[in-house]
Structure 1
């Protein structure tokens, strides 16, 4: 009985740690992609948004 409780506890810790790692990894990737898009697509974004501002 103790062994199964311990396994469940370890499994729970593993799930929490893996979720934290995945969320951190996703945040890092999304931030990196945001930087890349910001640097590379800044002019194209401005060109795309310009008609929108003219419409307003």
Structure 2
């Protein structure tokens, strides 16, 4: 009985550890996706600002 409990406990611990590692990987992946989205947004904002400046310069010349 004791070995059965130990075996089940060991298996549950292994599953828990694996799930923790997977969860960590998913969090890293989500963070990476979020960073890419932020970078794309900043590049878009910079493009819009450049276009606005270009239009303003054309309007004044």
Same fold (TM > 0.5) = yes
User: What corresponds to 2:13 in structure 1?
Assistant: none
TM-score (norm: length of structure 1): 0.70
Q: CA deviation at 1:3?
A: 1.1
Q: Decide which of 29, 35, 40 is 1:13's aligned counterpart.
A: 29
Aligned length: 43
Please, which runs of 5 or more residues in structure 1 have no aligned partner? 47-56
Misfit runs of 4+, over 2 Å: none
Please, which runs of 5 or more residues in structure 2 have no aligned partner? 1-16
User: What corresponds to 1:30 in structure 2?
Assistant: 46
TM-score (norm: length of structure 2): 0.65
CA distance in 2, matches of 1:33, 1:7: 39
RMSD: 1.2
Greater gyration radius: 2
CA distance in 2, matches of 1:37, 1:4: 49
